[in-house]
Structure 1
Amino acid sequence: MLETYVKKILSSRVYDVAVETPIHAAPFLSERLGNTVLLKREDLQPVFSFKIRGAYNKLALLSDEQRACGVVTASAGNHAQGLAYAARHLGVKATIVMPCTTPEIKVRAVRAWGAKVVLHGDAFDEALTFSQKLIKEKGLVYIHPFDDPDTIAGQGTIAMEILRQHQGQLDAIFVPVGGGGLIAGIAAYVKYLRPDIRVIGVEPEDAACLKAAMAADERVVLSQVGLFADGVAVAQIGQHTFEVCRHYVDEVITVTTDEMCAAIKDIYDDTRSICEPAGCLGVAGIKKYVERENCSEKVFIAIDSGANVNFDRLRHVAERAEIGEKREALLAVTIPEKPGSFKAFCQAIGKRSITEFNYRFHDNAEAHIFVGVQTHPDLDPRDVLVETLQKQGFPVLDLTDNELAKLHIRHMVGGHCEQVTDEVVYRFEFPERPGALFNFLNKLGARWNISMFHYRNHGAAYGRVVVGLQVAEAERHKVPETLDSIGYMYWDETDNPAYRLYLA
């Protein structure tokens, strides 16, 4: 298997349109981690993503008759741009089916390269199904975004460049994983020539299709896929890609959204470039690996796979990066409702910077403060801060890992209402698009009175809502059935301590 892929990689025609991207050092991150971190800058390709390699290689290998039929693909964006660019170069008509949640910057770019864009579904797999219909209806030739040997070989040229550009110590390559085309191509080439180098996949925790397949030793379909890292939002690893990965990928690491946001900041600090969420996965994986293994003086390369990110999504990245870097703690602190309490609390905080402070009168006995405090993962970790406050007599609840607190409560503190009774609280996520909020409210209907509502959209691929409903105790068992019929992901937050403290 490996020899076949290596031959395909060596004969790939990617350099008709792709460039050999550099490997850049990440000095700040390297110093912090005590290991050498290098970045393979695939964000510097003409379409700002590695996907141009596999798309062009596959298209270039089609027969003249196949090209004359026109081509179609399904893509969350980067493969779409690569195929559109390649098709224009070769004079082939291309139709691209993209999920409706695809960042606008990617949709505009695909259209700019001359391809026809069809928006369908909320995730890649729905777009894929629709693209298959177009093959039957219009006789188009399908160009798979990852699950094709020629596409895999095109992506594998990255490994060929890495081993040529960096011939010294190299302990591991950290690769973002969506459908698996990139990591399969890299693993095939690296394990054939340098089996001593570890190939490590990195996936978001909420889109870890390769990790699930490796654990089951067979391809599985994820029931839900997170959309923050839209470039890797795939529910099932490819068949061809998994055959390579199951034998030649050493392990798969998963990371959180906060850890991805922190990694985007790390890459910016070292390169002054902004990568997309999928593009930072390699760096996020290195950080997690180093923390787990407590290693030093190793040499790691992360594939910086793309830079196609909506500018307004950076608000979310900036908001969560400090938490992902463990440099901010979000705390609920109870203080006596009497003069001097605020001063005493600030003295307990000491010289630490307060990033956020929210308060509203609760009752005559005590006050609940929602506060953000700068911390340092090594010099001043948040558990030390919590312990310090508790020793000085302040009841503290650490909300740093509480999604409801991070997404909503911090913007709603002070909303107690004694007149509201029989309240249940649910948090929702749904694909963001024009009219999404109206559609959500329409599906929710008017069966129960809405007693609280908070909606945030700050450039993410999905809208986030927290809803309070007044539901009599006798009817509460009917709520999940109604919410299931809406079809959106939801969580019961009625017993969430952040809600109980500030809003109940």
Structure 2
Amino acid sequence: MTSTAFAEAARAAEQEMRAVFPATPLMRNDHLSERFGAEVWLKREDLSPVRSYKLRGAFNAMRKQIPGQDLFVCASAGNHAQGVAFMCRHFGVHGVVFMPVTTPQQKILKTKMFGGEQVEIRLVGDYFDKTLSAAQAFCEEAGGHFLSPFDDEDVIEGQASVAVEIEAQLRRTPDHIVLPVGGGGLSSGVRSFFGENCRYTFVEPTGAQSLGKALEDGAPVDVSPINSFVDGAAVAKIGERTFARLKTVATDSVLHLSEDRICTTIVEMLNVEGIVLEPAGAMAIEALSDLADQIKGKTVVCVASGGNFDFERLPEVKERAQRYSGVKKYFILRMPQRPGALKEFLNILGPDDDIARFEYLKKSARNFGSVLIGIETTRPENFQRFLGELDKAGFTYTDITNDETLAQFVI
């Protein structure tokens, strides 16, 4: 399909969607615009009926199969499942959604809510590859249509409706678009629509660099094991069809952001703007800090791809953000077992320092004990003074803040 034909197909898909849900807003963000000296706009896919862009691809793929097909199958534990469920209910067709047994109840319940009686959920496998295999086997046996979350031309075309709306709402092509990347459905669709008429930045989590590694190798490659924290973009292998549309992008247009760093934007957007974003939905916004010199004076669109955030994760998100920002650290402290030692340690704390965790792990000797201690402060520089005072007082300690293996067990 030529670029012109693809753009027309995306426009046609977008027009068909208007009978189902309204366009998501494109909103200028004053806070970010002022900070970066640019016109920063947020494409708010978190405000779609299922709080992500995934229903677009599901809609477009399903409408092309109906009325000849009335059974649709997918494997997903997140936004794709909810988009498929929503569309099954809209079209009045039967859907079977396969999810891992470990899927949180919140996601199962939301998928049931969107699909109603039209959707059946089957929990299969501890890991997604088992879930996917079961879904594909069932689909072939039952004669259904398998709905890929990204590696499908109709899905890519449907996700490109995001670009159609951006163009119409901005009334022109933006100078720069920042996109999150998982399997590549959204990014390949938007790039295929706008072509070379604007600049792109593609953002991946450090723990799932499917596009970056594919560009290095010249073909999709499995980057397992991956870090699943940024669940909306934690894909081990980019799609064959999506990579075919992205294989010519420059490697320096791909950014990799650490999972902890992404958390700083989730917290900031919640506290400053009152916007609830999931980790994948925050990636494009966090990337602006790396693009400050490139975007000054430009019109920039960040796609906030989703807002399906489970608030039970908020303590972990805050913890990760504080650790990345350098205002929270954890230490194993060797505490002398003598009167006054604890008081001596407490006197080292500054006026802005606070003890967030204090736990005796064990007595390593009659005269000493190991203590896990977490310290929060207001500025990273405060730790320089604190550690200097610890050294001066002769305390022995180990900073375990960035020791991921140890942190899993004691933090």
Using structure 1 for the length normalisation, give the TM-score: 0.71
Structure 2 residue aligned with 1:44: 47
The reply to whether residue 203 of structure 1 matches residue 204 of structure 2 is yes
Q: Find the aligned partners of 1:165 and 1:398 in 2 and give their Cα distance.
A: 50
Q: Find the aligned partners of 2:278 and 2:127 in 1 and give their Cα distance.
A: 17
SS class of match (1:100)? coil
Cα 1:344–1:23 change in 2 (3 A) is farther
CA contact (8 A) 1:204 1:254 kept: yes
Q: Find the aligned partners of 1:80 and 1:401 in 2 and give their Cα distance.
A: 34
SS class of match (1:235)? coil
Structure 2 residue aligned with 1:403: 404
Structure 2 residue aligned with 1:477: none
Structure 1 residue aligned with 2:279: 277
Structure 1 residue aligned with 2:373: 371
Structure 1 residue aligned with 2:56: 53
Q: Find the aligned partners of 1:400 and 1:314 in 2 and give their Cα distance.
A: 19
What is the CA deviation profile of residues 42-88 of structure 1, one whole-angstrom value per residue up to 9, with x for unaligned ones?
Answer: 111111111111110111122522x24x2212223212221222222
Q: Find the aligned partners of 1:21 and 1:208 in 2 and give their Cα distance.
A: 28
Residues 35-434 of structure 1: pairs in structure 2 closer than 5 A: 37-65=40-68, 67-68=69-70, 70-112=71-113, 113=115, 114-166=118-170, 172-192=176-196, 194-195=197-198, 197=199, 199-248=200-249, 251-287=253-289, 289-290=290-291, 300-334=300-334, 336-360=336-360, 362-363=364-365, 365-375=367-377, 380=381, 382=383, 385-387=386-388, 389-390=390-391, 393-410=394-411
Q: Find the aligned partners of 1:399 and 1:222 in 2 and give their Cα distance.
A: 27
Q: Find the aligned partners of 2:33 and 2:342 in 1 and give their Cα distance.
A: 40
SS class of match (1:81)? helix
CA contact (8 A) 2:348 2:386 kept: no
Q: Find the aligned partners of 2:21 and 2:204 in 1 and give their Cα distance.
A: 25
CA contact (8 A) 1:40 1:302 kept: yes
Q: Quick one: higher RCO (CA 8 Å, sep 6+), 1 or 2?
A: 2
Cα shift at 1:395: 3.9
CA contact (8 A) 2:352 2:378 kept: no
Cα 1:316–1:135 change in 2 (3 A) is same
Unaligned runs of 5+ in 2: none
Cα 1:46–1:322 change in 2 (3 A) is same
What is the CA deviation profile of residues 225-276 of structure 1, one whole-angstrom value per residue up to 9, with x for unaligned ones?
Answer: 3322332332211111001111246632223332233222122123323222
CA contact (8 A) 1:103 1:310 kept: no
What is the percent sequence identity of the aligned residues?
32
Amino acid at match of 1:84: A
| Aligned positions, number | 402
Cα shift at 1:32: 5.9
SS class of match (1:348)? coil
Cα 1:63–1:362 change in 2 (3 A) is closer
The farther-off stretch of 81-90 and 20-29 is: 20-29
Q: Find the aligned partners of 1:273 and 1:145 in 2 and give their Cα distance.
A: 25
Unaligned runs of 5+ in 1: 411-504
CA contact (8 A) 2:354 2:377 kept: no
SS class of match (1:318)? helix
Cα 1:16–1:307 change in 2 (3 A) is same
Q: Find the aligned partners of 1:169 and 1:61 in 2 and give their Cα distance.
A: 28
Cα shift at 1:204: 2.3
Cα 1:123–1:201 change in 2 (3 A) is farther
SS class of match (1:118)? strand
CA contact (8 A) 1:105 1:308 kept: no
Structure 2 residue aligned with 1:442: none
RMSD: 3.0
SS class of match (1:302)? strand
Cα shift at 1:30: 5.6
Q: Find the aligned partners of 1:327 and 1:116 in 2 and give their Cα distance.
A: 46
The farther-off stretch of 336-345 and 200-209 is: 336-345
The reply to whether residue 19 of structure 1 matches residue 22 of structure 2 is yes
CA contact (8 A) 1:349 1:389 kept: no
CA contact (8 A) 1:14 1:154 kept: no
CA contact (8 A) 1:18 1:52 kept: no
Amino acid at match of 1:279: G
SS class of match (2:27)? strand
Cα 1:357–1:145 change in 2 (3 A) is closer
Cα 1:165–1:267 change in 2 (3 A) is same
Cα shift at 1:348: 3.3
The farther-off stretch of 34-43 and 128-137 is: 34-43
CA contact (8 A) 1:376 1:382 kept: no
Amino acid at match of 1:172: H
CA contact (8 A) 1:328 1:373 kept: yes
Cα 1:334–1:174 change in 2 (3 A) is farther
Cα shift at 1:219: 0.7
Amino acid at match of 2:269: I
Using structure 2 for the length normalisation, give the TM-score: 0.85
Amino acid at match of 1:60: R
The farther-off stretch of 124-133 and 25-34 is: 25-34
Cα shift at 1:403: 2.0
Q: Find the aligned partners of 1:337 and 1:167 in 2 and give their Cα distance.
A: 70
CA contact (8 A) 1:87 1:94 kept: yes
Cα shift at 1:294: 9.6
Q: Find the aligned partners of 1:294 and 1:344 in 2 and give their Cα distance.
A: 50
Q: Find the aligned partners of 1:84 and 1:62 in 2 and give their Cα distance.
A: 16
Amino acid at match of 2:188: A
CA contact (8 A) 2:173 2:194 kept: no
